[in-house]
Amino acid sequence: MSEMSGAIPIELTVNGRRRALEVAAHHTLLEVLRDDLDLTGTKECCLVGECGACTVRLDGRIVDSCLVLAVEADGGEVTTVEGLAPESRLSRLQGAFLDRGGVQCGFCIPGQVMAADDLLRRNPHPSVPEIQEGLAGNLCRCACYEQITEAVLAAAGEEER
């Protein structure tokens, strides 16, 4: 197999739907999700893998989509925040973010929700330190960290403990 340039054909499964695309080698998964697939729930922010606003799940693990080239994800399965609420019904976790006031400006929330969803898949009953560690890669400029932690606890059914 030789070098590829120009428009490179790739296939992705995004939120359960197969998509055939042509991408430039230097375009990131984030750019392709937002600009080519119109999935603008995933946010572009720091572009250095520090803020987590672009968090998506790729082949079962969350990643910063600003640090993944779209061609790298060829053949992969991607879940974005849009995929957490099929038929526009909020997930239990998303509802908990609203109930607990975890959302102020809202910009970081898709990434926060993706990271929290991943944490609860791996660890259905996390402790507060485990939540803080699981969401350490997601910055909230409104500093809603207390409420976000409470929301994750509530979604896990742990708020009474």
Residue (91 or 132) nearer to another protein, CB: 132
Query: Sign (positive/negative) of CA torsion 124, 127, 111, 72?
Result: negative
Nearest-angstrom CA–CA distance, 135 and 85: 20
Q: Which of residues 88-127 bind another protein (CB under 8 A)?
A: 115, 118-119
Tokens representing 33 are: 């999700």
| 48 lines the binding site for another protein (CB under 8 A) | yes
| 142 lines the binding site for another protein (CB under 8 A) | no
**Min dist. Cβ of residue 85 to another protein (A):** 21
DSSP assignment of 42-59, as one string?
SPP--SSSSS-TTEEEET
**Min dist. Cβ of residue 71 to another protein (A):** 5
Nearest-angstrom CA–CA distance, 104 and 87: 24
Residue (21 or 67) nearer to another protein, CB: 67
Q: Which of 12, 33, 45, 52 binds another protein (CB under 8 A)?
A: 52
The region that residue 49 occupies, defined by phi over 0 for left and psi between -120 and 50 for alpha, beta otherwise, is left
Rounded to whole angstroms, the maximal C-alpha distance in the chain is: 58
| 128 lines the binding site for another protein (CB under 8 A) | no
Residues that bind another protein (CB under 8 A): 1-5, 8, 24-28, 47-50, 52, 55, 61-64, 66-69, 71-72, 115, 118-119, 133-134, 136-139
